[in-house]
Chain A
Amino acid sequence: MSVEFKFIGKRTPRKDAEAKVTGTLKYTYDLEVPGMLIGRIVRSPYAFADIRRIDISEAIRMGAVVITPSDIPQKPYNPRLVSINEVTYKDTYILTYKPRYLGEPVAAVAASNEELAQKAAESVKIEFERIYKPILDPLEAMKPESPRIHEKILRGDKWIEVENNIAARLDYDEGDVDRGFEEADVVIERTFKTGKRYHMQLEPKAVLVIPEPGGKLTIYTTTQTIHNTRILISQLFDIPESRINVVRVPIGGSFGSSIQTNYLVPIAVALALKAKKPVKIAYTREEDILDHSNFVFHFKIKIGTRKDGVFTAAEFTNILDVGAHQVQPYPLLGTSLGWFVSMYKWKNIRYRGIAVYTNKVPGCALRGYGAPEVQWAVETIVDEIAEKLGIDPVDLRLRNYVGRGEIFWGQGPTVRSVIRSDGVPELLLKGREIIHWNERGNPREKKGRFRRGIGVGRGFHTSGAGGPISGEVIDYTGCILKLNEDGTLDYITALQDHGGGTLDAHVKIIAEELEVPPELINITTASTETTPYDVCTHASRGTYVGGECARRAAQIVKQRILEVALRIIGKAVNPEALRIGYDEGLRQAVVYVEGTDIKLTLAEIARISWQRNWGTIGAFVSYRATSAPPSFTVYYVEVEVDTWTGIVRPLRVIAGADVGTPINPDMVEGQLHGGFAMAWGMAFTENTAYDPVTGEIMGRGLITDYKIPTAADVPIPEEFTIIIAKTYEPTGPFGAKGLGEAAMNPAVAAILNAVYNAIGIRFYELPVTPDKVIEALKERGELEW
């Protein structure tokens, strides 16, 4: 559908760009208040231990404020409140005597400056009752003879026993899988394993808690959800929500690391309550790596197919290495299944998902929440099937993918919708042309030191977690839109912009609906006490859910404006003849009656309404989406493998995105560029390795050894081509869908499929470091060295 928009789809400067380029924008890290104390966390030096005693006498002598587990209500909690209570597994304590990963917070201090606080923290002496050998392998953890990392945890409000270190399970069956395999002409089974990636968002987590006069608490923190942060603190400390205000602060990237309330927040609250003074805690980078990272995924996938390329059955076993605490691996078992099911029409499905505890940093969502991993595995196998059957990999995908008219599982079994917009054929076919797919050659015929290959990866992500029925996931949002007395507007929402321009997209949507230019719409500051509830800016729901909410608010405001205009005009005007339009000359919205001279600017309407005591024109909307449509993405990547060093470099990238209507085109492009870079790191370099004896992150956690791509590692701008599909999502604001995660999801597969096309070797374990490439080439007898 081709629509001409006035504001949507135009490239405009971000509203916060000026503050960012002048350095005046303050992140949590930069905030200061007079009289504030700096907090430092005392961390367990052992990965699996029970503490007998914590001696804080020296710290107290230094004048620091100190808290230990004895000072904190021992209520197990889960820092992520996106799932409903009944399926929320709680095994975390604000401070604990039973650390289960190296670096887990066991005590905390606050002092007037960071140095003093650090000295006080270092003076704390911990006596251990028992130290266990850390368990770092989930299969090891599940053995009956392995010690239990947790014994009893809460599921909702019920205590449950943990058996064999299994944190959660999810099984699913559809159809008759065994018969499906019997009917298959070809069956392929593969196992996959990922590394343990880290978000490496540039801003380390931080929090500032201010006790206000009168007993309120104000909290500033790096978060993707101010409301869930408030609710959590309210629950943990038994403080009514009306006495806690969490303020939205700009965040230096997140990628899923602050969907949950980060561990330093309740610790800072506890310190502030004890000290009765503001407390700020800011992580060092090493501490940030100890706060969150991704899960390790172990997959076993078996696919059956007929020789004409129609799939008949799929079996998917998913072992999730959770780390020491749950930040909701249970829904991840569900979303992994959902991504899998929504990739292709498998017909018969068997899924066994187990999440297992290990003594590592707790895993949490990392951009895609299982999708990059699942799509990597599936797209690898589909490529193998195509080769085996002699069918073109692109055609095989077109034949089997779940597309328009079919059911999409956005985020797992309880979130399903019918797909209404689908740009896959356009993207696959256009991209295929541009990259000269048919000339990519056969890996077996490629020789020499430098070998080139082209690979394809197709995937998607959901746009939020809306649905017709309420399930296990909370997903709704709200906003306020009001007309100011001079005709400008204030837009108030709790949604957060991690950097992708979400709120600027909302402004354009409001502008389009109201015919008001974006420069007259203000994105206000926001806090929990001034905004309606929004669950969290994640799951790529910012534009699709938040944007639609904004549009509805704009619709209501438009209606009211017309009512007021009618009142002002006074004459016998037919209400249906009133129009609102954008006047380019005046750079304003104007209410007019066609065929007459009657014209009122929005500024006039607002001013008159004010002067005549007619009240505020505004809207308060709370909105839940009834579906969660997929945004499809397709990557074609050309790489060059140096078979002598094992180092790969990207030559060309074609990134295709079906986002429905692109609201901010430069932000859409930015997401694809960033998604590709992240995928490159996932494929080749990113992993936090653990010392098998101590359970400590190797390299002391310094990022010298956690390599993410630099500008030198990505292709030159001329070689990164972006195709936006011409689709329109009827359930989205002006046809828009999300992109944040879809921008990355299938890229890893495309990259590694390209490596296969270059050297004829498939890799089933990430990251594919240079030595692994050399090892594989050696095994094939290729290297004389």
Chain B
Amino acid sequence: MKVKFTLNGKPVELDVNPRETLINTLRLRLRIKSVKRGCERGECGACTVLINGNPVVSCILLTIQVNGAEISTIEGLTGDILFEKLVKNFIESGAVQCGFCTPGILLTAYAGIKQGKIRNSEDAKEYVSNLCRCTGYVKIIEAIAKTASEVWSYERRV
């Protein structure tokens, strides 16, 4: 079946088997390796991508479901001011250990901060449910909260 979508701003046109999952299309056809296969059950979040700005798990999405959508992965966010801020805080906080969960978490945090859903560490704990086995989450939450407060500092939560 034919599908059309944009990936990191570039138009993509493919003819895929309808059973093909989005993660396989991204990793195997389009060679986007930052999207990781962690469980293929939608439980771990390592395969997170942004569809029209919203984080979704790509392992249980079929590629035919994203026809007409805008897909973003971290490859496409280099240069984005918010993303660069987030990445800087991640590195400085020491929130990166083995790195396998990192792309998924960065995308989720990025979307959450951008949409105003994440403005502090409580929000981060609620909206970032990706699994990480190395860090125990503390530095991840710190880095996200720091970025969120830099972005939303002029708005106070009542």
Contact = CB atoms under 8 A, between A and B. Distances in A.
Q: Do chains A and B touch in the complex (CB under 8 A)?
A: yes
Interface of A: 11, 13-14, 16-27, 29-30, 199-204, 250-253, 255, 282, 284-285, 498-501, 664, 666-667, 669-670, 672-678, 702-704, 708-712, 714-718, 720
Interface of B: 27, 32-41, 43-44, 46, 73-75, 78, 87, 90-103, 106, 121-122, 124-126, 128-142, 145
26 contacts: A14-B94, A17-B96, A18-B91, A23-B74, A30-B33, A199-B133, A201-B98, A202-B132, A202-B133, A284-B40, A285-B40, A499-B97, A669-B94, A670-B134, A672-B136, A673-B135, A674-B133, A703-B41, A703-B44, A708-B133, A709-B136, A710-B137, A711-B129, A712-B126, A716-B122, A717-B145
Contacts of A253: 97-98, 100, 133-134
B100 A203 contact: yes
B136 A21 contact: no
Contacts of B138: 669, 673, 714-715, 717, 720
Contacts of B140: 711
A202 B36 contact: yes
A284 B93 CA distance: 32
Given A14-B96, A16-B99, A202-B44, A676 B91 contact: no
Contacts of A667: 94, 97
A499 B139 contact: no
A255 B98 CA distance: 11
Contacts of A255: 133
A171 B53 CA distance: 61
Nearest to A667: B94
A630 B44 CA distance: 34
Nearest to B100: A252
Nearest to B102: A20
Question: What are the 9 closest A-B residue pairs judged by CB atoms, nearest first?
Answer: A23-B34, A666-B94, A499-B98, A252-B100, A673-B136, A20-B99, A499-B97, A677-B136, A202-B100
Contacts of A199: 133
Contacts of B133: 199-202, 253, 255, 674, 677-678, 708
A203 B98 contact: yes
Q: Which of B38, B99, B100, B135 has the most CB of A within 10 A?
A: B99
Nearest to B99: A20
Nearest to B34: A23
A23 B129 contact: no
Given A29-B36, A501-B97, A678-B133, A285 B41 contact: yes
Contacts of B27: 30
B97 A716 contact: no
Contact of B135 (A19, A200, A670): A670
Contacts, number: 178
B101 A202 contact: yes
Q: Which of A672, A673, A675 has the most CB of B within 10 A?
A: A673
Give the secondary structure class of B's interface.
loop
Give the secondary structure class of A's interface.
loop
A255 B43 CA distance: 20
A56 B91 CA distance: 51
B106 A711 contact: no
A703 B102 CA distance: 20
Contacts of A673: 135-139
Given A285-B38, A673-B136, A202 B43 contact: no
A716 B141 contact: yes
Given A674-B134, A708-B131, A712-B129, 5 more contacts: A23-B34, A202-B131, A252-B36, A704-B43, A716-B121
Q: Which of A26, A199, A708 has the most CB of B within 10 A?
A: A708
Nearest to A720: B138
Contacts of A11: 92, 94
Nearest to A23: B34
Nearest to A250: B99
A80 to B, nearest CB: 21
Q: Which of B101, B129, B132 has the most CB of A within 10 A?
A: B132
A678 B38 CA distance: 18
Nearest to A202: B100
Given A498-B98, A666-B94, A670-B134, A711 B33 contact: no
Given A27-B100, A252-B100, A204 B38 contact: yes
B99 A252 contact: yes
B33 A23 contact: yes
Given A202-B133, A284-B40, A23 B46 contact: no
A669 B98 contact: no
Given A26-B33, A202-B44, A674 B128 contact: no
A711 B108 CA distance: 13
A356 B102 CA distance: 39
A13 B106 CA distance: 17
A285 B44 CA distance: 10
Contacts of B92: 11, 13
B99 A25 contact: yes
A282 B23 CA distance: 15
A31 to B, nearest CB: 9
Contacts of A717: 121, 138-139, 141-142, 145
Nearest to B145: A717
A33 to B, nearest CB: 13
B58 to A, nearest CB: 14
A710 B131 contact: yes
Contacts of A204: 37-38
Contacts of A712: 125-126, 129
A14 B96 CA distance: 8
A702 B74 CA distance: 28
A21 B101 contact: no
B47 to A, nearest CB: 11
Contact of B97 (A26, A670, A676): A670
A436 B138 CA distance: 23
Contact of B90 (A21, A23, A282, A676): A21
Q: Which of A14, A21, A669, A709 has the most CB of B within 10 A?
A: A21
A228 B153 CA distance: 52
B98 to A, nearest CB: 3
Contacts of B99: 16, 19-21, 25, 250, 252, 499
Contacts of B38: 202-204, 285
A22 B78 contact: yes
A499 B134 contact: yes
A398 B41 CA distance: 48
A25 B130 CA distance: 19
B103 to A, nearest CB: 5
B131 to A, nearest CB: 6
Given A499-B97, A712-B125, A716-B122, A21 B137 contact: no
B41 A702 contact: yes
B87 to A, nearest CB: 5
Contacts of B136: 670, 672-678, 709, 714
Contacts of B101: 202
A27 B33 CA distance: 9
Contacts of A18: 91
Nearest to B41: A702
Nearest to A680: B136
Nearest to A664: B94
Contacts of B40: 284-285
Contacts of B94: 11, 14, 664, 666-667, 669-670
Nearest to A32: B31
A711 B125 contact: yes
A711 B137 contact: yes
Nearest to B128: A711
A349 B146 CA distance: 52
A720 B87 CA distance: 23
Contacts of A715: 138
A716 B122 CA distance: 8
